[in-house]
Amino acid sequence: MSQLIGKVAIVTGAGSGIGKSVALLYAQEGAKVVVSDINEKEGAETVALITEKGGDAIFVKADSSLPEDNQKLVSLTVEKYGALHIACNNAGIGGPSAPTGEYPVEGWDKVIAVNLSGVFYAMRYQIPAMLASGGGSIVNMASILGSVGFANSPAYVAAKHGVVGMTKNIALEYGQHNIRANAVGPAFIITPLLKDFDEATLKWLESKHPAGRLGQPEEVAELVLFLSSEKASFITGSYYPVDGGYLAQ
């Protein structure tokens, strides 16, 4: 039985990686999916994969760091499909690698704008639309680094910790209005975010995971689907790692 029949979902950063896998799985489970990404070509490819299999999806180009783009994304979703029930706020960037005392200020500003402010802007406009639709489920893509530190990534760590905190706030503020919010914390997943890592670095990262490997986007998408569905109806305000045992150490 398809889990998301009759639901309308937004997925940000859905042109590649985890967001793409989430969008494809949402559609497979019956949702109408609004695919959002800053990369128009990749976003259109995700939509094509969905529609080729008989799914219903549209692409909306949006920069998650801009409040006006987030507002437009929600408005176009409601205009097209009449409601909003699910949002996976996944868009994110890695940013520079440097210790805090040397970290480039412009790099900090960009990472915070996309990875933290972008999630706030998304929810700022998604929540009113969900309230008008009778409620919904928000899944924010945090990271294992929403729970622990990682040397030379101060902006990313700060942003992802902030995402976990905001997620808890939504649960407190909107729990009685039938809106749930949860955060997912992937470890290192094989996505374009790792494209600039050399083989030695990737092997080192693998060694940090007790499972002995990096994760696949589809493995994260399965958890996102569960949290988005009615099967998780009493789950809100929580943080769920998908980490191959990384945080167990």
Task: List pLDDT tens digits, range 155-214.
Answer: 999 999 999 999 999 999 999 999 999 999 999 999 887 888 889 999 999 999 999 999
Q: What is the pLDDT of residue 197?
A: 85
The residues annotated with a catalytic role in the active site are: 156
Instruction: Measure the CA dihedral 169/242/3/235, to 10°.
Output: -30
Q: Rounded mean pLDDT of 2-10?
A: 97
Q: What counts of helices (H) and strands (E) characterise the chain? A: 8, 7
Q: How far is the CA of 46 from the CAs of 3, 13, 165, 226, 242, in angstroms? A: 20, 11, 30, 21, 23
- In the chain, domain spans: 8-242
Amino acid at 185: G
pTM: predicted TM-score of the whole model, two decimal places: 0.96
Q: Which amino acid is at 51?
A: T
Given the candidates 3.40.50.720, 3.30.565.10, 3.90.230.10, 3.40.50.620, the CATH classification of the domain at 8-242 is 3.40.50.720
